[in-house]
């Protein structure tokens, strides 16, 4: 069946979560990249762990907790001022260079489906200037991807059967969660990583969003 809509992950797919490195480096010289990597890793871990425990907290809360952990683990002093400065960076993450042109060139309906809570994702999308038919957050369901009910949000909003929805993510675990649900999946493999061993494979692996268009 022809694809009638494209649904995009946000963090790491459209927006570079590691664009915070410059601010991290400015606060803790020589530690910026290491902090950014650990912050992101704990952010993802906490979403999965909270989903399994059925102890949902908004993505903004999870992101703050992950930053606090990462700073303590690396022996970095995190003041309230520094916390707010770095959380503010998440509202202004840089889109990847291929994103603006690719979004403009892709035909049909386009939506975002993200772990991001509205207080984070809505200002970020507005700041980017990117246009979508819908921005969907897991916050409505109080659980995180890759729970199947999260992907079902796109069906309810776009009114298109799942066989006609193309899901786009650079996070392989997310792409395979969408594949398990029944979407046609495009995995953006920017880093040349192997496919996760979760029993599924993407329908198409691409190097850039421009390959979609």
SS3 labels along the chain:
CCCCEEEECCECCCEEHHHHHHHHHHHCCCCHHHHHHHHHHHHHHHHHHHHHHCCCCCHHHHHHHHHHHHHHHCCCCCCHHHHHHHHHHCCCCEECCCHHHHHHHCCCEEEEEECCCHHHHHHHHHHHCCCCCEEEEHHHCCCCCCCHHHHHHHHHHHCCCHHHEEEEECCHHHHHHHHHHCCEEEEECCCCCCCCCCCCCCCEEECCHHHCC
Domain boundaries, the chain: 5-15+93-211, 17-89
pLDDT in 10s for each residue of the chain, 213 residues: 789 999 999 999 999 999 999 999 999 999 999 999 999 999 999 999 999 999 999 999 999 999 999 999 999 999 999 999 999 999 999 999 999 999 999 989 999 999 999 999 999 999 999 999 999 999 999 999 999 999 999 999 999 999 999 999 999 999 999 999 999 999 999 999 999 999 999 999 999 999 987
pTM score over 0.85: yes
Residue 1: the pLDDT is: 75
Q: Which CATH number fits domain 5-15+93-211: 3.40.50.1000, 2.40.50.100, 3.40.50.1220, 3.90.1820.10?
A: 3.40.50.1000
Is 101 catalytic? The answer is no
Q: Which CATH architecture is the domain 17-89 placed in?
A: Orthogonal Bundle (1.10)
């Amino acid at each position: 069946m022809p694809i009638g809509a494209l649904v995009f992950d946000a963090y790491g797919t459209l927006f570079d979560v590691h664009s915070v490195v410059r601010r991290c480096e400015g606060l803790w010289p020589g530690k910026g990249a290491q902090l950014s990597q650990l912050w992101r890793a704990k952010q993802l871990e906490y979403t999965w762990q909270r989903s399994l425990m059925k102890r949902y907290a908004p993505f903004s809360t999870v992101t703050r907790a992950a930053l606090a952990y990462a700073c303590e683990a690396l022996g970095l002093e995190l003041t309230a001022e520094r916390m707010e400065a770095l959380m503010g960076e998440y509202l202004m993450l840089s889109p990847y260079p291929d994103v603006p042109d690719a979004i403009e060139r892709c035909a049909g309906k386009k939506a975002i489906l993200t772990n991001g809570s509205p207080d984070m994702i809505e200002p970020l999308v507005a700041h980017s200037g990117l246009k979508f038919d819908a921005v969907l957050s897991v916050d409505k369901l109080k659980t995180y991807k890759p729970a199947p009910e999260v992907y079902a949000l796109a069906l309810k909003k776009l009114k298109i059967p799942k066989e006609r929805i193309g899901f786009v993510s650079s996070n392989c675990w997310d792409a395979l969660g969408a594949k398990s649900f029944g979407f046609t999946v495009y995995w953006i493999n920017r880093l040349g990583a192997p496919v996760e061993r979760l029993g599924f494979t993407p329908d198409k692996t691409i190097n850039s969003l421009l390959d979609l268009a």
